[in-house]
Amino acid sequence: MVTRLPSSHTLLDGHPGERTVPFGGNSLQHGTAVFDGIRAYATDSGPLLFRPAEHVRRLLSSADTLGIGHRWSFEDVLALVVRAAARESGDSYVRPVLFARDPYLGVDLRALEFTLGVEVWPIPPPTVRPARLTVSPWRRPAPSSFPPAVKATGTYAVSAVARTHAGAAGFDDAIQLDPGSGRVAEATIANVFLVRGRRLLTPWPRESLLPGITRDTVLRLAASLGIEAHEGPVDVGDLAAADEVFLTGTASELVPVGSVDAWTYPAPGPVFTELAAAFRDAVTGRLNGLGWCVPVSDRRQVAH
Ligand code: PMP
């Protein structure tokens, strides 16, 4: 199912009030923007951003890895994220993007001037619905073709082809394999976890995958709950032996998987349910000893 979000807010640094970008701009024409996605959760004391420092750091690292030059520091990006998030009082998804407006048709990123923009979408609370997945014939790009930890708009065409193919066959999403090893890498815009008994297994970053911040959150929560967790090689056949499977991502949070092709799982299963409850406590600040939640009214609390 496609969820279309209601109207969003745009904040372009240095271009106040602007909501549009030139059609000929390099990032639109060639997919050369880098971005990140951050959730803000409504609480009685106002919205909390979840792990914004990690997301901003990843955005800047994506730019750096691709050789994108720009003038924004960690503090500048964070300040714009916080300002943008403050425009919504409910749950929202906040997306800082570094993109090139120049109508330049080359692909040498050093020739481009990048702009920082932040888009904020109000997002409804998630409904827990088991996802039906298929293993996609479309694999992730090889790490020797594109750095998997970089979030660039262009690489989302790789996710789009697998997701579209899966959707046309009646599935909600697809598992994509590493192009070299043929092992499980990730879903199209989320990471994958398998549960066996009370033990978690998730593909290691040697496969072509984006090691997500939600994935990291789940690994840390599992440790605090006494659930053993392991990052390692995951063969497609391991899906046959799993007791539960679930996905993790900033926008979708934790999603129980009801089936992967003909393999079926209880969804939500007991380990998922335990982790999902801890995740909810974490994102709404009830576990904030961890320093993960930052009120939009107080950006000074963010550690570097
Ligand atoms: N893999 C891909 C390809 C993604 O786009 C995302 C979403 N950012 C993830 C994994 C999950 O990452 P995160 O938990 O940091 O959102």
> For the segment 187-224, what is each residue's pLDDT rounded down to a tens digit?
999 999 999 999 999 999 999 999 999 999 999 999 99
If one residue of 59, 188, 191 were mutated to test the ligand 1 pocket, choosing by the most ligand atoms within 8 A of its CB, it would be: 191
CA of 189 to the centre of ligand 1 (A): 5
Range 272-286 average pLDDT = 95
How confident is the model at residue 299, as a pLDDT? 47
User: What DSSP element (H or E) covers 97?
Assistant: strand 92-100
Cβ–Cβ under 8 Å, residues 176 and 136: yes
Which tens digit of pLDDT belongs to each residue from 2-11? 455 556 788 8
| Distances, alpha carbon 267 to alpha carbons 43, 186, 244, 263, 273, in Å | 28, 19, 7, 12, 9
**Nearest protein Cα to ligand 1, atom 13:** 212
Q: Which residues contact 279 (CB under 8 A, 6 or more apart)?
A: 217, 218, 221, 253, 254
Q: Which protein residues are within 6 Å of ligand 1, measured from CB? A: 37, 159, 186, 189-191, 210, 212-215, 248-250
Work out which ligand 1 atom sits closest to the CA atom of 58.
Answer: 15
Residue with the two structure tokens 């092709």: 261
Which tens digit of pLDDT belongs to each residue from 177-189? 999 999 999 999 9
